[in-house]
Amino acid sequence: GNSSRDAESHWIPPWASDPITGGHHAPSDCSPGKSVLILVPYRQREQHLAALLSYLHPILQRQQLCYSIVVGEQYGNATFNKAKLMNAAFLESVRQLRRFDCVVFHDVDLLPTNPFVPYNCPAYPRHISVSIDKFGYSLPYKQLVGGVLAMPVRHFLKVNGYSNLFWGWGGEDDDMEARIRSVGLLVTRPNPRLARYRMIRHQARKEILNEVRYKLLYLSSKRYRLDGLNSLSYSLVASESRPLYTHFLIDLGQPPRSSSFY
């Protein structure tokens, strides 16, 4: 067989009864009102993505979910902006695919190791990745919502999505937790024995400056109405329906040159 990387990315695993084109799957008794969008922000992590897909599809199918897996890839080599990328991939998913009832934001390096990790639609924002091997299967701090976060679409719209201002690593998830609190919602968590994850080792991305991060977080509750889905600018470079997921290549533009606008 052809061993090129292209052929590898189009490999169909043996557990897939059909090619799951575009990452969509719906059991025959798919009830409306429970459609899940799994959204993975991504750049240059081919092996991580392949591993995640091989874990996720069987778990989601076993749970009889109507779901779509979307991978949002940041175009170019500017500083990574995970939160802005998730906003853009969310809007494209809603525009191009179908109506979703809830969205699960899923880091590419977290592999669910228990088939009963709850990926169904929650009534309130649900922080799913509560039990990660890297942190000794305990929650590092109470406000944490990073890693894997599920939200009803109406709640994601209510908090105006993620902030677009976090260029570099860190802070965007704490900002989301503050947004959730600001609109009077609670974060729920599943049983840690169910929600177990393994983190794949990887090089950390460049961190955001601490002073910038603290300033942004200090203003989270005041800023969320103006900074988010309603202030988002991006351009879609390409979209493609691949065998195991829908792929959006998204240009987020360049980070600001100075932090004067904070």
* Residue 138 or 161, more confident: 161
Residue 6 has pLDDT above 60, yes or no: no
pLDDT in tens, 75-102: 998 888 999 999 999 999 999 887 889 9
Q: Which of 71-75, 166-170, 225-229 has the highest mean pLDDT?
A: 71-75
Q: What is the DSSP string of 4-20?
A: SHHHHHTPPPTT-SS--
* Residue 230 covered by a domain: yes
Residue 22 has pLDDT above 80, yes or no: no
pLDDT at 18: 53
Total domains, the chain: 1
* Residue 224 covered by a domain: yes
What percent of the chain is modeled with pLDDT above 90?
54
Q: What is the mean pLDDT of the chain?
A: 84
Give the domain range for residue 147. 20-251
- Which single residue is written with the structure tokens 């260029």? 167
Among candidate residues 90, 2, 77, the one with its CA nearest the CA of residue 38: 90
pLDDT at 23: 77
* Residue 257 covered by a domain: no
* Residue 118 covered by a domain: yes
* Residue 2 covered by a domain: no
* Residue 140 covered by a domain: yes
Dist CA 113 CA 126 (whole Å): 18
* Residue 8 or 19, more confident: 19
* Residue 1 covered by a domain: no
Residue 215 has pLDDT above 50, yes or no: yes
Is residue 162 within 8 A of residue 228, CB to CB? The reply is yes
Dist CA 124 CA 152 (whole Å): 7
Q: How confident is the model at residue 140 (pLDDT cuts 50, 70, 90)?
A: confident
Instruction: Return the CATH number at 90.
Output: 3.90.550.10
Residue 123 has pLDDT above 80, yes or no: yes
Contacts of 190 (CB under 8 A, 6+ apart): 117, 118, 126, 128, 130
pLDDT in tens, 29-79: 666 558 899 999 998 888 889 999 999 999 998 888 889 999 999 999 888
* Residue 117 covered by a domain: yes
